[in-house]
Structure 1
């Protein structure tokens, strides 16, 4: 960047039902869009004379002005030459915009110029007086600077690296991406990835409020087994049960919906999840959080950052927590120690190296699930208690230790070329005993049980090399990306089976002896490798048309060793080519319709066909048409999309050899999604979403044609809003949300789980600029509900958490 340029701180498959749902959702889009100006008018417009709470540490003036613009929700621009080398004192407390800017610019020959209703600029003041003359300004919606790996002010993110691996505006991306920001995670007190996703359309958590897995379904497809998790864009190749994510450590969590293989290789067709960790920063940050709540929950968390050198060339971030807690389920704890550290070295403007590491220790239990009789189906003895534990307290455990180590390297070769290299290593161990439930007897009281003890070791590493070139040709602007990535993963498991007495679900008596077999039921190790070469072209023509082209070649291989027999078997050795093409048109008013086609491949299941041949990778393809609305200078984003997503090469019964499978199955998911995110005023924030998923097995030899995937509702909708009473009761904030999930089926489609609506709420209050309190209540009306897959899982009963936060 030229230093003289200004910087701006800113089970039914009928198509008629799909059409009706799409029409209803489009009407909802119009209603939401039309309601926004009215809502803005109803909210009293803040003026500079009204007080706001600011917390800006002493430091470089440029950074302080950026922070002020974000916190005050104004647009502020300045020439870097005017502020270079200047420092400012701490701004902490209640100020009007006028007072705050006066304090930041005190003693400096600078003044504020009003450019228009929503934009202001710092300029040199005329030296006719020792005072800086500051015209009156009005607070308006913020247009803040943002980077794909950086923080987001509020709920509306407009940059993302997930969909393109480049810092390209979301409005120029022809595929749906949902982004949950740190501000949303904080105000909703999301303490698991499942809780993070609960206001996101098209995403269904698996297994209730799971403490042992981040398993989820996206657009009707189970993405869990394909390791869909990424950390800062690097592949986090871990087994489903090798650990869970810690939301407090994240700056944002991004969900790319639909096939993502063109950039990421092996992936389920539903999509991937990229978690962006809290990054080092030069501005001092000191935060402590103390929590107490339901299920005897106690937690201490902290987040610290700042410069390690005077010039800010070396900075750090340290985030961590310690938790001791029970859960709704008897004898299942939720204890955790977590720490994450990062250091960034920026020797000059062209080079940045960030080292990252984290460590996590979880002690919890595996909630196997309950029988349908007594949860979603009638039981002659009544309903099974929500807190029922079907295991044995002295046997069950789920202890996981894992850590990651990696780095993010960026070097600007020149003004047009940038090289990036992302590396990530993962190591995890799981010590896991659990008792699983079988069938209930004729009395519908006793459930048969079986015991399992297993130990897992999971290691992986991945490296991604990217070369980005920006160039112009006539009226077109090009961002070309070529990359080479490589991943290795090793997973070893030893597992024992065992027996245990039946359990009375309505009058449980624990203490039964668990007898494990002397010989392992299995002891195997799987090693896999993936090498990928990809290219992408982003073309912006006349600032109106955006064309996205991409292609990728992958080579994947895997072999398994049975350590009981010392026999090694090749699981697969395949290659795959995937592509993506998309088109976007950018209207001046912020509307951006798009259309895209994308492909995916997923490593095949284990086993062989009747001819002894290994299975081929499954193939996915998606057609998507969408419309985004992101008006310039407003913190508002609305996305509506219609998609058809198909997975082929699915295994199904071989009719000629029924003991074997053949890859002739197909699963299809058609749907509509609507997501609106808005910081409507300096006081009011809103999230609204609706998702329709019509997924079914379309081809099968197993008699499952027409079946829906387990636990996937046809309809899901949510609404969240929070409001700060800055003018009437300074420091007070209220928020509430409602989540609706329609009826769904179990995996076999033999019974149905009813739909439900759950309400959440929060009350927060800033006592001083340093101290704040919050009360979060989930499931306010204590709604009893369950979802089912292979078993049934109760949703968490009403629970509350009080948080005291101290920033200094």
Structure 2
């Protein structure tokens, strides 16, 4: 069976859109200067940044204060001051987001009662690589990014299906004509070494460029962890004419995460004496390679109207070869290994976004069309045979030995089309009405490369958002919103025959909150209440438990609080707290067992963060705590990851105006804790106590 050639139908209008914008180039006259560019994050952000424009929650560039939704941003300066070496370190200091990452899913989070890469969308500078087989690998580290922005709650109106819980966007540092250079070098526990270099400057008389490079390695605090990563981010902006700008990016990233799938439980408990052990095979391999190219033309038709066309190409290659399942046998005092799994992903995505923006008077409007084609090839050694037994300590790890050959399993071609419109209208000086709708259409063709039947499926999603912000004064806002969205039952790119007959799940949220800035921005706080319900999750047919149907539902309701305040000239405190009451409203699993009232997996009832900063003269210091409550690992709520609190600290010294030396201290109490589970018999342990010394230059 051949895949249908949908690419040609989708690419024709893409090419026409590009030709339309290019024709404008030929008709316009050249200019000698760059147009005015608004650079987000040119100044150091402290606090919640309520006055700052947020481009993740909406395409209308509303400020966080005006946006009728829960939004948050973490600046590069804040992440650096706290010593956050990975994006997930920074994200999990924001309100209500917890880490569920593992070597199998790459990077993953939980928010507002929903977990995983099919419910939490991750973007890099506004571009989203569709999720293949539940895996997302970027963005991983914060070097080269100006902000990490978070929208909590459904984001389907802006980004399509798969964003019920939250949307995370890493915003790049923008090219500047004024030349600058920054560099960083670090050494620390776990044999960690890392270095970064970034620079920007003028490109001729009408452009600017930026280059950011980064490389790092460590042993991952376990035997044979051997984690390495590196990336190169390049971008430029150029004024082709007085009214036409070109922006472009070309990026390459490679990651080899630590080859660690968790530590087995001993008598149902975390085993401190096995903390350094890695039960993977000696020749295990995990590798992610990501490439991206983006070109965007922006035509300012008039002071009120701008039209842009953005063409993006993204490619991801992933490879796993590991023994992934471990069980401690107390009788034999041995660890039994199984699931010798080899998997490869080859994914290519070409996407185009044609968009028009109108900004005049009291009205802001954006409308657009998005189209993409995605080719996904899945290779594996199913049914993943192989087993071995090793001693708990001092063992020979052996080699990957499976009786099942690695061979291509299936391929999918996915064509997506979306139409959207958003409008923000100032009813008066105090009331802002925000409305948006979006229609998504996903067409998936799957071919089995092992002789099984193929299929074609079409999935449709319609989403909407209606919100109102009421400004009680220049620095105080009340807001409310109703929004809808959708999530796939499984990754769209790896849709199988069993799930092809199902539609996308439906979610809807009601949210209200308050945002306030005090003392000219020296103190800011926000609070939100929300309720989300998701329908059409897979459940068993009550009249025939042998059949699976769509009819289950789950919901969450909760409260979130965030605050940042300058206590005195040298002191600042940042704090947040999230309470989540999540449950299955209707779910029947095998054996006709009802899970109604049970909490979904990976969802803590409470999470919180606290960070205290001190800055005086050439010195700065910080200390903070992260708390994550108990999380169940099964729908029956029979087994749970224990709650934990981790303490961190930093100490920095400005040698001069260009050089900063900083000591980052992590897990000061050397807490033994599980960050997430990989199975009911093994948990992934958090890093032990360690320190890192960094030197940073800015010129």
SS of 2:92's partner is: helix
The corresponding residue for 2:187 is 292
- Aligned equivalents of 2:136, 2:575: Cα separation in 1: 33
Structure 2 CA distance for partners of 1:353 and 1:636, relative to 1, 3 Å: farther
Deviation (angstroms), 1:632 = 8.4
- Summarize deviations over 1:499-534 as a string: whole Å, max 9, x none: 1312333x2512435422244486111222221111
Deviation (angstroms), 1:580 = 0.6
SS of 1:502's partner is: strand
Contact kept? 1:482, 1:535, Cα under 8 Å: yes
Matched, 1:316 2:202: no
- Summarize deviations over 1:210-243 as a string: whole Å, max 9, x none: 7971111121211413571222222233535463
Deviation (angstroms), 1:155 = 4.5
- Aligned equivalents of 2:548, 2:408: Cα separation in 1: 22
Q: 1:153 aligns with which of 29, 45, 65?
A: 45
- Aligned equivalents of 2:115, 2:43: Cα separation in 1: 29
The corresponding residue for 2:317 is 429
The corresponding residue for 1:360 is 253
- Aligned equivalents of 1:283, 1:722: Cα separation in 2: 31
SS of 2:194's partner is: strand
SS of 1:185's partner is: helix
Report the RMSD for the aligned CA atoms in angstroms: 2.5
Give the TM-score taking structure 2 as reference length: 0.87
Contact kept? 2:364, 2:424, Cα under 8 Å: yes
Deviation (angstroms), 1:349 = 5.8
- Aligned equivalents of 1:410, 1:651: Cα separation in 2: 43
SS of 2:246's partner is: strand
SS of 1:664's partner is: strand
Contact kept? 1:228, 1:272, Cα under 8 Å: yes
- Aligned equivalents of 1:278, 1:211: Cα separation in 2: 30
Contact kept? 1:303, 1:319, Cα under 8 Å: yes
Contact kept? 1:237, 1:426, Cα under 8 Å: no
SS of 1:190's partner is: coil
Higher strand share: 2
- Aligned equivalents of 1:185, 1:624: Cα separation in 2: 28
Contact kept? 1:747, 1:789, Cα under 8 Å: no
Contact kept? 1:235, 1:424, Cα under 8 Å: no
SS of 1:169's partner is: coil
1:231-630 maps to which residues of 2 (within 5 A)? 231-239=124-132, 240-241=134-135, 243-245=137-139, 246-309=141-204, 311=205, 313-347=206-240, 350-373=243-266, 377-378=268-269, 383-393=272-282, 395-443=283-331, 445-450=333-338, 451-472=340-361, 477-496=362-381, 497-505=384-392, 507-520=393-406, 523-565=409-451, 567-570=453-456, 572-605=457-490, 606-607=495-496, 614-630=501-517
Contact kept? 1:643, 1:670, Cα under 8 Å: yes
- Aligned equivalents of 1:554, 1:279: Cα separation in 2: 30
Deviation (angstroms), 1:620 = 0.6
Matched, 1:751 2:611: no
The corresponding residue for 1:767 is 655
Q: Say which one has the larger Rg.
A: 1
- Aligned equivalents of 1:444, 1:638: Cα separation in 2: 56
Aligned length: 645
- Aligned equivalents of 1:407, 1:684: Cα separation in 2: 43
Q: Which runs of 5+ in 2 are unaligned?
A: 1-32
Give the TM-score taking structure 1 as reference length: 0.76
SS of 1:186's partner is: helix
Structure 2 CA distance for partners of 1:359 and 1:712, relative to 1, 3 Å: same
The corresponding residue for 2:604 is 713
- Aligned equivalents of 2:423, 2:352: Cα separation in 1: 22
- Aligned equivalents of 1:155, 1:407: Cα separation in 2: 33
Q: 1:725 aligns with which of 607, 612, 616?
A: 616
- Summarize deviations over 1:538-564 as a string: whole Å, max 9, x none: 011221001111111111121221111
Structure 2 CA distance for partners of 1:771 and 1:207, relative to 1, 3 Å: same
The corresponding residue for 2:539 is 652
- Aligned equivalents of 1:155, 1:425: Cα separation in 2: 36
Identify the range of structure 1 (522-531 vs 267-276) with the bigger mean alpha-carbon deviation: 522-531
Q: Which runs of 5+ in 1 are unaligned?
A: 1-84, 86-144
Deviation (angstroms), 1:161 = 1.0
Q: 1:803 aligns with which of 672, 694, 697?
A: 694
- Aligned equivalents of 1:188, 1:586: Cα separation in 2: 33
- Aligned equivalents of 1:754, 1:691: Cα separation in 2: 18
The corresponding residue for 2:61 is 167
- Aligned equivalents of 1:279, 1:680: Cα separation in 2: 32
